[in-house]
Structure 1
């Protein structure tokens, strides 16, 4: 296997053992990017000479010499971070987000920034600025969104690991579609300062910056580097990182569900969840069917805050420039426009209801502090698709993704691990979710599943 497809942990071991130098490792990635990115179109900004310069002056730290990528919605000094929008063409921040600084202080080397859908509001990565990103498992399909460029780069070995962001599944859907691992952390565990647009208002609890990589061990490594309160972040959580020993993890009850009783999922998606549950049971975990009652209420409230408030947030930016917007973003605006207008009263009611839904969720999670469930109703879809027929039933675009949206409204950590595959050979991930601030428990169970199933290299390259 080429060195660029090794896990980040394995690449770091080679660096520490001096079996490869940072410059040699970077050259391997540069070569692979030159070969595969013309097909994938994962990068928004990449400069080989800039990367070589970093490799000649690597900082010492736990990530010394590791080549990483950053979603183009996370400020990265000197790199284009235009959020896939013509309206923001040429935007290059002068300073980096807190998380990027933490990666660089730990010795990581930033290869570049990766493509995303315009203004992040889609599960497909396509825009008028850089075009469409393709899935390395099947280039006629999307790697997802909004962290689609990041997922495609990592899955195909163009990057060892990286950062995405997630307000409705945007690290988890791409991980599922592309066959890699990811974590949406509890908001506040990883600082969000420097995300574009800012994680403010409802997005301070819906949204989070999260690590993406080929293995859960790599995700855990990045989480350990990134987690910790930012003293200037009003939503920052003073929660110390902790280890979860095997004995403690195995005592946790895990509830599993194949679907929510409202929308269909593919047979292979069901099988992936069953296979994961069986594997956990075989490893000594207590696993049982369980479906929290608040899921649909959480989904309804998420729609108000993500779709309707999201469109309202972007109103001033897009006013008078609607003809410059991409079809993908126009799709989002059409969905938002189909909803009844929000009044001050209805918004206040929704805001108040959130706390009640979260409270009921926490009460129900006393029985099962962890959940195992699908990431999505379907595997990676073809570019431009917005509806499907599954189990003989119609399936709408946003409905297919509801399994991730729940945990943005609930402000819960959730990880994705590749487990199964579709009849076409596309990867199918499962999701492990937990209670807020119990990210380490989620990662501990995800690591068990990763050891049982885990990453497979895609056909491309």
Structure 2
């Protein structure tokens, strides 16, 4: 029974708790047992919340009392270790913050708890959330549950690995350029980076550059992502970017299937893409067409004029370096490789910085023009499936690129602030998950959740759980 519980999605767990078919204590214990069994191999969980079982017992009392229950009542959730959790270690993947215990929850964590969720554990990340692998000097390297020799991604790689391995049904990650969508693709789960500002970043570090950072839900089903987002969205009076009061409609789109207009592309403008990945994107497009959706192969000229990864690199270094320098002052001996790399990067000249700002505006305009004709866009998330640990250079479709190119299709949504959802739709010849990315217009989360639910309904992928 315990193994079955850890394969359920959060929505089903909440339903079974409400109907008293399972208890919150059973659910929590099943996940704690799963952590004990598989985390030594995966190293996704870095801290288990001491009060998790006590909170589950309290949740069980509330169920038996027959009162009103929140939509996530009794459901365990995990949180990336850059997100503050009251009285639970939040060490940000660095010895510099060893032993740090916040006295207040981040807004996103507080909202999950207000919905009835129970904090289960904190998950691994790269130092300061800054790289595409989850490895650091404090808690070590996380492994991909599909293949331990491969990465579960970064920077929310511990979170993606925990969910894929059944240690958690639902969690929170953060995304600067790739970090909830890339790890989801490498482990075959679902995640969403909503429109910038939809979910407050209060209580999350680093905040610089604020206009590119997002926090978002990660889970094993589209409906779980929709449910979590409906609880997370909205201003909190502290994050000035979080101003929209609009709420998600939990994935129910405003158009019928026959009215939806969807484009698909794998480039140009994203960098090279592996043929298996490109074929998966096309397969997703064809699946939607088979449902009656109007689907067309498209291009976005703005992405060809201004390579978003280059734009991002010219903008974010100037804003992140001061935050890193402040945090590491007097702790230079405790820096890991990516912090050292960040500090070694040359400053962007003012001329290049202004030009990059103008390029970012052109990218926003280009997407705005696209969304006058289409409701959604389907692309790849990553140009390749999950890669081996420590690889810094890749040959993709005959072109040699460095590891930053893995962000080619995700970083445009951080530069523009547009929402994007990552979900599995294929499997590589090596048996690794391949995800697609569904992109929407500004604050059109309901549309991309709707398209994602359509794809989930026709997906032929059956091996959703790695054999650990």
Say if 2:320 is the partner of 1:310: yes
Contact 2:194 2:418 in 1 (8 A): yes
Find the counterpart in structure 2 of residue 237 from structure 1. 243
Deviation at 1:213, TM superposition (A): 0.2
Contact 2:375 2:447 in 1 (8 A): no
Equivalent residue for 2:273, pick from 265, 273, 278 = 265
Find the counterpart in structure 2 of residue 43 from structure 1. 45
1-structure distance, mates of 2:342, 2:431: 30
Contact 1:215 1:455 in 2 (8 A): no
Give the TM-score of the pair, scaled to structure 2: 0.92
Say if 2:286 is the partner of 1:300: no
Find the counterpart in structure 1 of residue 223 from structure 2. 217
Deviation at 1:415, TM superposition (A): 0.1
Q: Secondary structure at the match of 2:149?
A: coil
Contact 2:423 2:435 in 1 (8 A): yes
- In the TM superposition, structure 1's runs of 4+ consecutive aligned residues that sit over 4 Å from their partners are 331-334
2-structure distance, mates of 1:404, 1:263: 11
Can you give the 5+ residue segments of structure 2 that lack an aligned partner in the other structure? Answer: 63-68
Contact 1:168 1:306 in 2 (8 A): no
Find the counterpart in structure 1 of residue 198 from structure 2. 189
Equivalent residue for 2:289, pick from 263, 281, 293 = 281
Say if 2:106 is the partner of 1:97: yes
Alignment of 1:56-75 (within 5 A): 56-58=57-59, 60-75=69-84
Relative distance call for 1:12 and 1:221 in structure 2 (3 A) is same
Q: Secondary structure at the match of 1:263?
A: coil
2-structure distance, mates of 1:109, 1:82: 20
Contact 1:180 1:455 in 2 (8 A): no
Contact 1:252 1:285 in 2 (8 A): yes
2-structure distance, mates of 1:77, 1:175: 26
Q: Secondary structure at the match of 1:403?
A: coil
Find the counterpart in structure 2 of residue 205 from structure 1. 211
2-structure distance, mates of 1:329, 1:455: 39
Deviation at 1:120, TM superposition (A): 0.9
Deviation at 1:388, TM superposition (A): 1.3
Contact 1:144 1:173 in 2 (8 A): yes
Find the counterpart in structure 2 of residue 148 from structure 1. 157
Deviation at 1:373, TM superposition (A): 0.5
1-structure distance, mates of 2:465, 2:431: 10
Alignment RMSD, CA only?
1.9
1-structure distance, mates of 2:144, 2:53: 27
Moved more, 350-359 or 279-288: 350-359
Find the counterpart in structure 2 of residue 8 from structure 1. 10
Contact 1:140 1:383 in 2 (8 A): yes
Give the TM-score of the pair, scaled to structure 1: 0.94
Relative distance call for 1:403 and 1:245 in structure 2 (3 A) is closer
Contact 1:85 1:127 in 2 (8 A): yes
Contact 1:239 1:437 in 2 (8 A): no
2-structure distance, mates of 1:85, 1:41: 16
Relative distance call for 1:331 and 1:423 in structure 2 (3 A) is farther
Equivalent residue for 1:397, pick from 393, 400, 403 = 403
Deviations 1:303-326 (A, max 9, x none): 122344323431222244333212
For this pair of structures, how many residues does the alignment match?
Answer: 453
